[in-house]
Amino acid sequence: MSFHQLARRYMSRQRGRTAMLSIIFMVAILIGLIGTMILRSFEQSLLTLGEQSNAKISVSTFGANNLIEQELIDTLSALSNINWVNRVNEVVATVADIEIGIGENEEIDDASIRIQGFDDLTMDGLFSENMARLTLGYLALEDGEIIIHETLATMNDLELGDTLTFYHAGMTVAGTIAGIYMYEDSGIRNEAHTPSAFRFENLIFATPTFVNQLQQEAGFLEVNFYITDPTIIEDTRYEFENELSDTTFGVQVSDALFRRMAQPLSQTASLTTIVLGITGIGVIVVVSLLLIIWSRERQKETALLLSIGRTKVSIISQRLLEVLVIYISTFVFTIPLVFIAAPSIATFYQGVVGLNDMEDFILEVGTVGVTNVFLLGLLALIVVIILSCTSVMRQSPKSIFSRND
């Protein structure tokens, strides 16, 4: 009789042991699959949080005489983990033929305005911090377009499409009004002595190229490099500092929002990992003890099979088949239960980590989790079964019979 026939007959006779192993395997598989799916979803969630948190590394200059050149920006942008770049610059200029607010001790001839240039106004500056709000127009500026404060617009009856002319260091540049904004905090007031360039209504927004035209120099006061993966932002900072070792530019990391958002995920992931580890060790210990006990109870059977010419490989193959059939059958039966439970799991962890698409993540990584848990469990069982049979296999059939008589 072949080893697989013996295995089938043994399982049919030992229904109680088969049921016990099935229950142990089902509990372990449920915990393993659910835990693995949640851990994999945390990895995906961290990537999503990284994109939402807008973590960045800011390179800034300490003065207008030492601007950041485009060549250096291109070099830093080529480093790993850089998503995109927002260049920032600023110039103080005069403007023709309009009225602007001035300080009480300031001459009208000395009055000036301040122009800030951003590649993307929604990512840095007043608009990104919700300190300013657009009332007319749009924020996605093209070269030659500007956004002015509504107080300046009211003082001079300016509308969208009107043109203002700016002067700086002998350079004249015209800008078309594409937007009008106001400060979100309506309680903002200027001090009486505040000079014109720093009065809130005299702040104008434009593109970095527009500011460069007035400066007649292609340089920037600050450049913000947005990070693809904030979990390795310190490694990226180290690369930046190596590239900037011969310059006087400052480097600052901004990832506080990501760390605050990621903290609940990290804590829950750590707890899940501990539970998975304890479960895995517990299952291995329990199954090992059961198989060792059952192997010892089958010593006469083993000795008889060895005495009639069965090889040790054949006997071990029989024991492997017995346990693996139970394991695989239980695994196949358990998989639908996991996916049925996925929405409830997602609802629970959504409350823990605050993610709306947790269910999508859990279902998305399910196949990978099933494969990993199945292979890991299979490998562990093979090792445990071989070890449980080894102690009996090392004894001769004669010694086994004589001890049990």
According to the per-residue pLDDT averaged within each range, which of 43-57, 128-142, 304-318 is highest? 128-142
Dihedral (CA of 132, 136, 137, 138) sign: positive
Same domain, 344 and 274: yes
Element (H, E) at 85: strand 82-95
Residue that is last in its domain, among 204, 223, 254: 254
* Mean pLDDT on 210-231: 90
Q: Is 179:127 a contact under the CB 8 Å cutoff?
A: no
224 and 271 housed in the same domain: no
Q: Indicate whether 226 and 309 sit together in one domain.
A: no
Q: Which amino acid is at 252?
A: Q
Residues 197, 67 share a domain: yes
Give CA–CA dist 21/120, Å, rounded.
61
Angle between helices 15-53 and 256-297 (to 10 degrees): 170
Which of 370, 321, 362, 314 lies closest to 341 in space, CA to CA?
362
Quick one: tokens of 153? 């617009």
Q: What is the pLDDT of residues 262-313, one digit of tens each?
A: 777 777 778 878 887 888 788 878 877 887 777 777 766 766 766 776 777 7
Q: How many CB atoms lie within 10 A of CB 367?
A: 10
Span 157-206, pLDDT tens digits:
999 999 999 998 889 999 999 999 998 765 567 777 888 888 888 999 99
User: Which of 314, 298, 268 has the alpha carbon at shortest distance from 400?
Assistant: 298
* pLDDT beyond 60 at 376: yes
Chosen domain end from 254, 289, 324: 254
Tokens of 133: 């709000």
Per-residue confidence (pLDDT) for residue 348, from 0 to 100: 57
pLDDT tens-digit map of 79-107: 888 988 999 999 999 998 888 888 887 77
Are 375 and 250 found together in one domain?
no
Q: How buried is residue 12: exposed, middle or buried, by Cβ count under 10 Å (0-12/13-18/19+)? A: exposed
85 and 189 part of one domain = yes
Confidence (pLDDT) at 355: 47
Do 245 and 384 belong together in one domain?
Answer: no
User: What's the domain count of the chain?
Assistant: 2
For residues 193 and 231, membership in a common domain is answered with yes
Helix, coil or strand: residue 294: helix
Q: What is the token pair recorded at 136?
A: 């007319």
Same domain, 287 and 171: no
Is residue 236 within 8 A of residue 82, CB to CB? The reply is yes
- Give yes or no for residue 327 having a pLDDT over 70: yes
CA gap 275, 298 in Å, rounded: 34
Residues 204, 65: contact at Cβ < 8 Å?
no
Q: Please check whether residues 118 and 91 belong to one and the same domain.
A: yes
- The DSSP line for 94-142 is EESSS-----TT--GGG--EEEEEES-TTTSSTTTTTSEEEEEE-S-PP
Exposed e or buried b per residue across 68-106, where buried means at least 16 C-beta atoms within 10 angstroms of its C-beta: bebebbeebeeeebbeebbbbbbbbbbbeebebbbbeeb
> Other C-beta atoms within 10 Å of 186: how many?
7
Domain hosting 118: range is 56-254
**Whole-number Å distance between alpha carbons of 249 and 227:** 19
Secondary element (H or E) of residue 329: helix 312-353
Same domain, 284 and 241: no
Which of 193, 220, 254 lies at the terminal end of a domain, its last residue? 254
Same-domain status, 126 and 142 = yes
Element holding 43 (H helix, E strand): helix 15-53
